[in-house]
């Protein structure tokens, strides 16, 4: 596997699991092109635009889209089987507000207008725990510059992780960036899932393994 994708370091591992079932493949061939972010001329008919990066099995993404029909929800994920799950959900629940990018979130963010997003969710991102792999963490200086451009002033970045070192890393880098402030609603808020939280596959793996999860919120200043 190459260490770079174009000019950027590669941030993710495998992008395919088991072969798709025929029904899933059909939806990828027919419905994915319709809901692909790049094929939406504009999203101005929606009240707000929110994005989730690395939605994995799409549990949280589908929950967001179902609960917020007036908001455009964008999901980016390079793992084909996850994208097929999201497309299956769009079909089964008749969702009209969920748009997908099968690939690296950074590529689709490049096409966004400034301050498009009111919310950005990054939930249990790949922790890349070995120090020689830390550079693959999605939270890095260049990425935060991109986030700063596409997130509205006053918008919210949600970051959840079960890896305490990655939580520290993220708080440090957001502080260094200078345009994000940690929202502390109560002394224990960062140990409690966000309101209405449906859970995700990686969160339940962490809980089963006895790793405490952390749920942070950062407000974007400008």
Ligand X SMILES: C[S@@+](CC[C@H](N)C(=O)[O-])C[C@H]1O[C@@H](n2cnc3c(N)ncnc32)[C@H](O)[C@@H]1O
CB of 80 to ligand X, least distance (A): 10
Check binding of 75 to ligand X (CB under 6 A). Answer: no
Distance CA 54, CA 123 (A): 7
Catalytic one among 110, 126, 146, 165?
Answer: 126
Structure-token match 């964008």, residue found: 74
Q: In the window 193-212, what residues touch ligand X (CB under 6 A)? A: 200-203
Q: List the one residue from 20, 37, 51, 82 that touches ligand X (CB under 6 A).
A: 82
Which bin fits 12, alpha (ψ -120 to 50), beta or left (φ > 0)? Answer: beta
* DSSP E strand stretches across 79-141: 98-102, 117-123
Q: DSSP string covering 22-58, please?
A: HHHHHHHHHTHHHHBGGG-S--TTSSEEEEEE--TTS
Q: List the one residue from 78, 88, 89, 155 that touches ligand X (CB under 6 A).
A: 78
Nearer to ligand X, 27 or 100 (CB): 100
| CA angle, residues 215, 217, 222, in degrees to nearest 5 | 160
Check binding of 125 to ligand X (CB under 6 A). Answer: yes
Check binding of 126 to ligand X (CB under 6 A). Answer: yes
Distance CA 7, CA 34 (A): 29
Nearer to ligand X, 129 or 178 (CB): 129
Part of the chain binding ligand X (CB under 6 A), chosen from 36-44, 63-71, 76-84, 178-186: 76-84
For binding to ligand X (CB under 6 A), which residues are involved?
11-12, 53-57, 76-79, 82, 104-106, 123-126, 138, 200-203
By annotation, the residues acting in catalysis are 126
């Amino acid at each position: 596997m190459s260490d770079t994708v174009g000019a950027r370091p590669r941030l993710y591992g495998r992008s395919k699991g088991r072969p798709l079932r025929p029904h899933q493949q059909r939806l990828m061939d027919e419905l994915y092109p319709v809901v692909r972010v790049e094929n939406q001329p504009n999203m101005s008919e929606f009240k707000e635009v929110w994005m989730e990066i690395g939605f994995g099995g799409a549990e949280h993404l589908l929950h967001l889209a179902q609960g917020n029909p007036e908001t455009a929800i964008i999901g980016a994920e390079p793992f084909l089987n996850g994208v097929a799950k999201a497309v299956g959900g769009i079909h089964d629940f008749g969702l009209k507000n969920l748009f997908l990018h099968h690939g690296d979130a950074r590529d689709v963010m490049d096409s966004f207008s400034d301050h498009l997003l009111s919310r950005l969710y990054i939930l249990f991102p790949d922790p890349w725990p070995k120090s020689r792999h830390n550079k693959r963490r999605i939270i890095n200086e260049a990425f935060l510059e991109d986030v700063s451009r596409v997130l509205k002033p006053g918008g919210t970045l949600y970051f959840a992780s079960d890896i305490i070192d990655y939580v520290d890393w993220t708080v440090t880098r957001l502080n260094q960036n200078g345009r994000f402030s940690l929202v502390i609603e109560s002394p224990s808020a960062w140990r409690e899932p966000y309101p209405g939280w449906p859970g995700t596959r990686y969160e339940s793996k962490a809980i089963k393994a006895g790793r405490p999860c952390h749920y942070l919120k950062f407000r974007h200043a400008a």
